[in-house]
């Protein structure tokens, strides 16, 4: 009986694959739906008027009203917090330690990464507490091996054994699709003369590589402001538990980009372990995506919560910025506030105006609205370290705790340099939705 069932199944499978000579596509592919990434909200595709909804106060003429269309995507509900970014820093730290230790220690000195996928996801991290426990017979050996990760004796403050964060370097890769898409690149690879370029032009030339130190610039709290006492923020803001749910700052555009790539690798590693299908990459939002999300479906409103006022009906401020002539506490903040402060906009997103300004993926050009496409507008330029500073400008959006109300408007755009880190700039990630719209999967 069992043999008969097997033969019957094989006959059915053969007949399905044969398809009676008709074009039926590849059969047996698993039905797949886009999972909602943790901590992200879905933003449906749409069209809106990008640009200023109010008077151009500084008459900068860097933005004009323009109708654009944006495809569906996910965006972080909040700005990336200190604690979330610290996971990235700890990954880099532990990777360096594993490379140093190699096979010198037993597996008992590793811990599994604890999360909701504890059983399946077994990427080890260093158990620093077990490793440094007094009385452990391997402790001297391990301490000596890890010594290069700490400041040398001459640099230690009051003898404290602290990590040398200057060594927390992360190597990351990405593909330069725009360069690869150029006709000259494709002709060199695939054209009639392609054989002549087999060694001079290959796919590896589009795989880009960079190395970045991932530790935030904690001194930004001091060097951003002259004659201002911010030493306590430098000493405690990034590492102290009191600030875990505050937005990470002191992160450059390159560091934010590296974080997005690492976050992609983290998710894809887990999906590979469970036999899942990969998703689109995490990345920084384009400024058109950022503004679309910030508006929350209110097309002509100057602020994420509506408008045209920056206070509610009870006279309370609706964001964390610099009210009036500098009464920083009048809005309930001071420096930064927690990432889920104030009311979210109609998409459910917090602090799309104020708290910290946010990096976007786009290069800044005063006339970008004039030449950018109206379908997913995007202007990118990968400036090298030795190029002029004007080419290193990246768009930031949303205004911050130290900015006046004008910069909180959804249509206001300004810039900062990609290799600088500020105490008032953070970021959040996006992921393009795989498909056209969620309704298509119903």
pLDDT per residue as tens digits for the range 362-404: 999 999 999 999 999 999 998 998 999 999 999 999 999 999 9
Tell me, yes or no, whether 174 lies in a domain.
yes
Tell me, yes or no, whether 41 lies in a domain.
no
How far apart are alpha carbons 91 and 265 in whole angstroms?
A: 12
How far apart are alpha carbons 438 and 442 in whole angstroms?
A: 7
Tell me, yes or no, whether 72 lies in a domain.
no
Q: Helices (DSSP H) in 161-215: which residue ranges?
A: 177-181, 183-190
Tell me, yes or no, whether 176 lies in a domain.
yes
CB 220 within 8 A of CB 422: yes
Q: Please give the full DSSP string across 204-265, using - where no structure is assigned.
A: GGGEEEEEEE-S--TTHHHHTSTT---HHHHHHTTTSGGGTTSBP-S--HHHHHHHHHHHHH
Q: Which residues pair with 394 in a beta bridge?
A: 363, 416
- As a whole-number percent, the residues of the chain with pLDDT over 90 amount to 55
**Tens-place pLDDT, residues 350-368:** 999 999 999 999 999 999 9
Tell me, yes or no, whether 352 lies in a domain.
no
- DSSP class of residue 39? T
Torsion of CA 6, 7, 10, 14, to 10 degrees: -170
Give residues with Cβ within 8 angstroms of 155, minimum separation 6.
Answer: 164
Query: HSE-up of 115 (CA within 13 Å, CB side)?
Result: 13
Tokens of 285: 């939002």
pLDDT for 233 equals: 96
CB atoms within 10 A of CB 6: 10
Q: Which residues pair with 306 in a beta bridge?
A: 303
Tokens of 123: 């990427």
Dihedrals phi, psi of 433, to nearest 5 degrees: -70, 135
> Strands 414-417 and 393-397, how do they pair?
antiparallel
Q: Is the pLDDT of residue 319 over 70?
A: yes
Helix axes 139-146, 82-101, angle to 10 degrees: 110
Tell me, yes or no, whether 148 lies in a domain.
no
- Please give the radius of gyration of the chain, using alpha carbons only, rounded to the nearest integer: 26
Tell me, yes or no, whether 193 lies in a domain.
yes
Tell me, yes or no, whether 293 lies in a domain.
no
Which residue segment(s) compose the domain that 183 sits in?
170-206
Q: How far is CA 389 from CA 42, 57, 253, 361, 377, in A?
A: 36, 26, 14, 17, 23
Query: HSE-up of 206 (CA within 13 Å, CB side)?
Result: 14
CB 377 within 8 A of CB 295: no
> Closest Cα to residue 98, out of 116, 115, 113, 118?
113
How many domains does the chain contain in total? Answer: 1
CB 252 within 8 A of CB 427: no
Q: Which pTM value belongs to this model?
A: 0.86
pLDDT for 141 equals: 67
pLDDT for 441 equals: 61
Among 39-53, 121-135, 352-366, the range scoring the smallest mean pLDDT is: 121-135
pLDDT for 114 equals: 29
How far apart are alpha carbons 338 and 365 in whole angstroms?
A: 32
Task: Categorize the per-residue pLDDT at 124 as very low, low, confident or very high, splitting at 50, 70 and 90.
Answer: very low
Average pLDDT of the chain, as a whole number: 84
């Amino acid at each position: 009986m069992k043999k008969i069932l097997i033969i019957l199944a094989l006959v059915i499978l053969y007949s399905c694959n044969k398809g009676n000579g008709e074009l039926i596509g590849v059969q047996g592919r698993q039905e797949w739906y886009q999972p909602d990434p943790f901590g992200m909200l879905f933003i449906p595709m749409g069209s809106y008027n990008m640009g200023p909804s109010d008077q151009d106060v500084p008459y900068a003429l860097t933005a004009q009203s323009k109708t654009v269309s944006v495809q569906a995507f996910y965006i972080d509900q909040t700005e990336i917090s200190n604690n979330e970014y610290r996971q990235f820093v700890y990954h880099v730290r532990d990777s360096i330690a594993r490379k140093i230790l190699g096979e010198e220690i037993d597996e008992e000195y590793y811990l599994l990464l604890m999360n909701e996928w504890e059983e399946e996801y077994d990427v080890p991290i260093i158990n620093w507490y077990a490793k440094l426990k007094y009385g452990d017979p391997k402790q001297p050996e391990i301490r000596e091996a890890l010594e290069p990760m700490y400041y040398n004796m001459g640099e230690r403050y009051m003898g404290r054994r602290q990590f040398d964060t200057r060594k927390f370097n992360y190597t990351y890769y990405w593909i330069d699709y725009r360069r690869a898409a150029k006709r000259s690149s494709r002709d060199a690879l695939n054209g009639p003369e392609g054989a002549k370029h087999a060694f001079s032009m290959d796919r590896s030339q589009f795989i880009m590589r960079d190395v970045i130190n991932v530790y935030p610039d904690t001194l930004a709290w001091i060097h951003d402001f002259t004659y201002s006492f911010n030493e306590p923020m430098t000493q405690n803001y990034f590492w102290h538990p009191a600030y875990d749910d505050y937005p990470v700052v002191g992160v450059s555009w390159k560091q934010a980009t590296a974080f997005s790539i690492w976050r992609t690798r983290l998710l894809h590693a887990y999906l590979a372990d469970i036999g899942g299908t990969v998703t689109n990459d995490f990345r920084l939002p384009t400024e058109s995506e950022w503004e679309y999300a910030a508006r929350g479906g209110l097309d002509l409103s100057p602020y994420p919560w509506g408008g045209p006022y920056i206070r509610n009906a009870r006279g309370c401020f609706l964001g964390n910025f610099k009210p009036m002539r500098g009464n920083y506490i009048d809005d309930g903040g001071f420096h930064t506030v927690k990432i889920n402060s104030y009311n979210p906009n109609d998409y459910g997103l917090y602090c799309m105006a104020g708290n910290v300004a946010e990096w976007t993926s786009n290069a800044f050009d005063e006339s970008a609205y004039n030449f950018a496409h109206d379908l997913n507008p995007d202007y990118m330029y990968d400036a090298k370290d030795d190029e002029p500073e004007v080419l290193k400008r990246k768009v930031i959006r949303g205004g911050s705790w130290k900015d006046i109300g004008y910069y909180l408007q959804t249509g206001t755009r300004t810039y900062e340099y990609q290799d600088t880190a500020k105490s008032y700039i953070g970021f959040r990630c996006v992921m393009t939705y795989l498909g056209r719209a969620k309704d298509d999967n119903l």
